[in-house]
Structure 1
Amino acid sequence: MLARLFLMSSLLIYSVSVMAQKKIPLWPDKIPNRVDSDEKEEFTNEDILWITKIQKPEIEVFLPPNRKNSGAAVLIMPGGGYAGLAYDWEGTDVAKYFNSIGVAAFVLKYRVPLSKSVENKEWVPLQDAQRAIRIIRARAAEFKVDKNSIGVMGFSAGGHLASTLGTHYNKRLPFMDDAVEKESARPDFLMLMYPVISMKAGLTHQGSHDNLIGKAADKQLTDMFSNELHVNAQTPPTFLLHATDDGAVKVENSLVFYQALKDNGVPVEMHIFPAGGHGFGLGTGNPSLAQWPSLLAEWINGLKN
C-alpha cells in the first residue's frame, strides 16, 4: 500500500513538473534601455490578469505533447494599449489553445513605454520582441520547433507590436554580442487580432499612440510607427481578424494593412465579423466569434502547402 501511494505521489509530482512552464529572461545580464527606478511590477486579477510596470521582460514557454507537435511555433504579444498586458486573456489562454493543435507557444512579457524604468521608450517593446523571436530560433532544437516556422501573434496594441516586428525586423537595435543576436528577427508569419496598425490621426488608437510615441509626436515618428507604410514584398504572410463594431481600435486599421499587403503581393487572409467589439480574446461565449481559432488553425496548416 505504501509503495503504491509512493508511486502515485511520484507520478503526480512528475505530471505537475511536466505541466509547469518555463520562464526565460530576455536579457541575461544588463537590460537595454533600462534606468534605475523604484518601480515594481504590478499584478491585478479581476477576471483578467493585468500586468503593468514590467521590469523583467521574459517569455513563458508552452510546449505541446510530443505526439501532437507540428514543429510550428508562435510568439504571443498580449494587448493593453502599451500601458500594460492582458496576460492571460490574450496570452496564456491563447498559448494553451495553440498547444491543443500541436503548436508551441511563447507568451511575451514585454516592457511598456509608460514605465519609469525605460528610456528611448518607443523602441523598447520592439527591442524585447526582436530578442524574444531570436531566443526561440536559437533554442529551436531544445523546443522541438522548426526555426523556419515561427510566427508572431498580437492583440490590439500587441498587434501593433507584432506588425512592427513584421515590418521593422531589420531595424538595428544592437545591444548584446552573442549567438542569439545573430539569429533573424523576421517572423515567418503574422497573426494580427483587432490590431492597432497606424499612428495616424483619425485612424490610430489614441491611448496606444500617446503611450508609445507621445501626444506631440512629429510626422517622422508618426510615420515610422504607422506600419501600413512599411509593408513590402518581404513582409510575412498575414492573418487579420477584426470586428466591424470595434469601438476602441477602428476596423480600418486592419483594412489599410490588408490593402498594403495585397498591393505588395503578400499572401493575406482577413476575417471581419459584424459584431464583437474589442478585446474578445478567443471569442469564448460568442458562437460567431468562437470560430476564429479554427479558421486560424486551417490558415496555419495551409502555410505548409
Structure 2
Amino acid sequence: MNYKKKFKLSLLGSILVTFMINAQDAIIPLWPNDKIPNSIVSDEKEEVISEDIVRIAKVQQPTIEVYLPAKKNATAEAMLIFPGGGYGILAYDWEGTDIAKFLNGKGIAGIVVKYRLPSSVSQTEKHNVPLIDAQRAIRLVRSKASEFHINPTKIGIIGFSAGGHLASTLGTHFDEKVYEPVDEIDTLTARPDFMALGYPVITFGNSTHSGSKKNLLGENPSSEMVEHFSNEKQVTEKTPPTFIIHATDDMGVPVENSLLFFQALKDKGVSATMHIYPEGGHGFSLARENVHLRGWTERMFEWIESLR
C-alpha cells in the first residue's frame, strides 16, 4: 500500500472515530448505572420499533439526547423534550428528535428525554418513576449549562400528549421529593423556567385519557392519587409561564384538558398563552402538512422571545 493511500485510510478512520465519539457523547445517561432510583433487576428489555415513526418501550436506561445549534446561532436557551405515547411507548422521533432539530433551527438547544415508562416488573412505585427521571433530567442539563453553552436560568420544557402530562407534572411538582439524592447534581433546582404543552394529558378526572391514567396509576387508583396527578389541581404561583396548543377535534385527549390547565394558571396569576385550533386531531407533532396548524411553532417561538 502506498503512502498516500495509507494516509487517506488513516484520515478516514480518524474522522469515523471522531464522529462516533461525538455521537456517543450526545447521549448521556441520567443516572450512574448502579444508582437508578426505584429500579428492580428483571428480565425486562428495552424495545425499539422503527416503522413510520420510532417507538421505544420498556425503557431501562433513561437518557438525554442532546442537539445543540451552532454557537453563532445559539440563543443560550434550551428545551427538554418529553415525547408522548400514553405512558406505554415513546414516540421518540415524531415528538422527540424531530422537535429537537426544529428547535436548533431557532438557536435553541433541544434535549430529548428518554424517560422510563411505568412498569410493575422493573420498578417500585411506578407512578413516581417518570417524574423522578424528569426531575433528574432538568437538573442534569442545568449542571452542564456551561458545557452546552446555555443559560441555566433559561431552561424550558415541552411535552406532547402523555409527555405533556409529564411536563406539566414537572412544572407543578418540581419541588416534590420523589427520590433520594445520588450526587451533587440533585442539589440543583428542578423548576423549569418556562413550559410548553402540546395536546397534553392534564387531568385524571373527567375528560382524561384513560390509557395514560391506567398505565401510570394502575387499574384502581385511590382518589388521593388521582387528585395528586391531576395537574390542574396542583398549579401554584410558582408554576412556570406556560404555552399550550390543542385541537378542538382531538378525540384522543379532549381539549378540556388544556382548558382546565389554562384556567388553573389564570386563577393563580401565572402567565399563560393558549392556542386552540379548530381541527388537527391528536398527535400532530410539527403539523407540516397543515398550513394553518403548523403555525403553532412560530407562535411558540414568539412567546419564548416575549419571555426574554
Q: TM-score, normalised by structure 1?
A: 0.94
SS in structure 2 of the partner of residue 59 of structure 1: strand
Query: Partners of 1:30 and 1:209 in 2: how far apart?
Result: 27
TM-fit CA distance, 1:108: 0.5
Alignment counterpart, residue 216 of structure 1, candidates 197, 213, 220 = 220
**Unaligned 5+ runs, structure 2:** none
Match of 1:263 among 256, 261, 267: 267
Task: Say if 1:80 and 1:158, in contact at 8 Å, map to a contact too.
Answer: yes
Task: Choose which of 144, 152, 167 in structure 2 pairs with 1:147.
Answer: 152
Structure 1 equivalent of residue 247 of structure 2? 243
Which of the residues 56, 64, 73 maps onto 1:68? 73
Asked if 1:125 is matched to 2:154, the reply is: no
Cα pair 2:181 2:187 within 8 Å, conserved: no
| 1:283 match | 287
Query: C-alpha displacement at 1:215, in angstroms?
Result: 2.2
Contact 1:82 1:114 in 2 (8 A): no
Distance 1:182 1:288 in 2: 43
Does the aligned pair in 2 maintain the 1:49–1:87 contact within 8 Å?
yes
Alignment of 1:158-173 (within 5 A): 158-173=163-178
Q: Percent identity?
A: 51
Cα distance in structure 1, aligned partners of 2:169 and 2:131:
7
Q: 1:8 to 1:269 in 2, by over 3 A?
A: farther
Displacement of 1:17 in angstroms is 5.9
2:117 aligned with 1:105: no
Question: Aligned partners of 2:13, 2:138: CA distance in 1, in Å?
Answer: 35
Alpha carbons of structure 1 residues 236 and 159: separation in structure 2 relative to 1, 3 Å: same
1:138 and 1:179 in contact (8 A); partners too: no
Aligned residue among 55, 58, 69 for 2:60: 55
The whole-number CA distance in structure 2 between the counterparts of 1:88 and 1:296 is 20
Measured against aligned partners, the alpha-carbon deviations of 1:8-57 in whole angstroms (never above 9, x if no partner) come to 85896599469736111111132110111111100001111000010001
Q: 2:96 aligns with which of 91, 95, 98?
A: 91
CA–CA separation in structure 2 for the residues paired with 1:15 and 1:237: 40
Match of 1:41 in 2: 46
Paired with 1:52 and 1:140, the residues of 2 have a C-alpha distance of 29
Relative to structure 1, is the Cα distance of residues 170 and 130 closer, same or farther in structure 2, using a 3 angstrom cutoff? same
TM-aligned CA distance change 1:18 to 1:57, over 3 Å? closer
Q: How many residues align?
A: 303
Distance in 2 (CA, whole Å) between partners of 1:234 and 1:186 is 9
Q: Which moved more, 1:229-238 or 1:7-16?
A: 7-16
Q: 1:6 to 1:69 in 2, by over 3 A?
A: farther
What is the deviation of 1:175?
2.2
Q: Which amino acid aligns with 1:232?
A: T
Give the whole-Å Cα distance in 2 for the aligned partners of 1:279 and 1:103: 23
Amino acid of the structure 1 residue aligned with 2:225: L
Name the counterpart of 1:272. 276
User: What do you get for the CA RMSD once the two structures are aligned?
Assistant: 2.0
Q: Is the 8 A contact 1:54 1:115 kept in 2?
A: no
Q: Structure 2 matches for 1:156-235, cutoff 5 A?
A: 156-200=161-205, 202-235=206-239
- Residue in structure 1 matched with residue 303 of structure 2 by the alignment: 299
- TM-score, length basis structure 2: 0.93
Compared CA separation, residues 274 and 11, structure 1 to 2 (3 A): farther
Distance, in Å, in 1 between the alignment partners of 2:197 and 2:97 is 16
